[in-house]
Amino acid sequence: MATILKMRKHLADTLEVEVLGRPVAGPAVGKLLTVCAAILPGSVDQEALKESVRCMTGRIPTRQDLDLLAYRLVGNLDRLKMHRPVTPWVTQPVNEKVLAQVIAYRPELRSRLTTRFTIQLMSGLPAGLRTQVWWDLPRCGVVASIAGFDRPAQVIGGNPKPHLYAAPPQLVGLYGEVLIDGTESSKTGVPTIAQFRCPNHLKAVNRHLLRLRFRVTPGHDCPRGYPITFPCHYCPVGYVECPAAVHEQHYVVAYCKGCDDATAPFDPDWTLDKCVNCVIKDAQPPI
């Protein structure tokens, strides 16, 4: 998986240098195809690749466009090798298992306390797209145990540094294999997740992240110097700086009229109307 992730980033970064902000027309179409062919494996069918990048013709691509293209190509190498073009996602004709990563969370109150997770889809027909799931607390606990957290029964024997799940934000950053439901996706118009599982090779990747968060990995110290008693999912630092973080951007300190706090933390990816504390409070079910 690490090789695939590196290839995707390398492709997107190279495309940014070569074609970002310029019309993909005339010679630029050939340059786009040449860059993709040079980075992808030689066994990829060139006609299928040409058809797969045709969607960029006539456009002035943004970085987001290039990231999406890189996800789609690198996440479907098997299809390209079998002479099958990979076009932008419109619908999901079949159920499909795809690689996914939890990249964001936000607590919400539905019928009960629920967390909305944003899932980055990294392979298959919807590669590059993001979708969302709403998991209640029991479901979050189940996903945590599937993804690599220790179960309480596993630490009874005296594991001195167990990786115990405590809160939904700890799921951010973890990888898994999700089942995209073709029927439901066609109804909703977005990739719809029906199942989450975690093969052993992905669980090993997740365990590496958990070792960082629980300060088990030798040589890894908190970049801000917080003590081990301060959990990473309380930290204001984003994963733009720290790989153990559970939100992308650093929290911003500002005045919150909801709680009348002049030094309230705000997550730029949530809302600037309510601080993190108010969002969490509003998600609590009434007593």
Kindly list the domain boundaries of the chain, sorted by start residue: 2-81, 96-213, 251-287
> Position of tokens 């997770």?
117
Q: Each residue of 57-68: b (16+ CB within 10 Å) or e?
A: eeeebeeebbbb
Task: For 86-122, write each residue's pLDDT tens digit.
Answer: 999 999 999 999 999 999 999 998 878 899 999 999 9
Percentage of the chain lying above the pLDDT 70 cut? 96
Q: Average the pLDDT over 261-283 and give the result.
A: 92
Are 255 and 247 in contact, with CB atoms under 8 Å apart?
no
Percentage of the chain lying above the pLDDT 90 cut? 81
Q: Which of 90-99, 153-162, 208-217 has the highest mean pLDDT?
A: 90-99
Q: Average the pLDDT over 161-189 and give the result.
A: 93
Among 84, 90, 82, 19, residue whose Cα is nearest residue 56: 19
Beta carbons within 10 angstroms of residue 106's beta carbon: 21
Query: With bands split at pLDDT 50, 70 and 90, how would you rate the model's confidence at 271?
Result: confident
Q: Is residue 221 predicted with pLDDT exceeding 90?
A: no
CA distances from 206 to 130, 209, 271 (A): 20, 5, 29
Q: Average the pLDDT over 40-54 and give the result.
A: 96
φ, ψ dihedrals at 31, nearest 5°: -65, -45
Among 123, 117, 122, 112, residue whose Cα is nearest residue 170: 117
Q: How does the average pLDDT of the chain come out, rounded? A: 92
Task: For 224-269, write each residue's pLDDT tens digit.
Answer: 889 888 999 999 999 999 999 999 999 999 999 999 999 999 999 9
Four-residue CA torsion sign, 284, 118, 247, 99: positive
Are 232 and 224 in contact, with CB atoms under 8 Å apart?
no
7-12 own/partner pairs: CB under 8 Å, 24+ apart: 7/39, 7/40, 7/74, 8/70, 8/71, 8/74, 8/75, 8/122, 9/70, 10/39, 11/35, 11/36, 11/39, 11/40, 11/70, 11/73, 11/74, 12/63, 12/66, 12/67, 12/69, 12/70
Measure CA of the first residue to CA of the last residue in the chain; give whole Å.
45
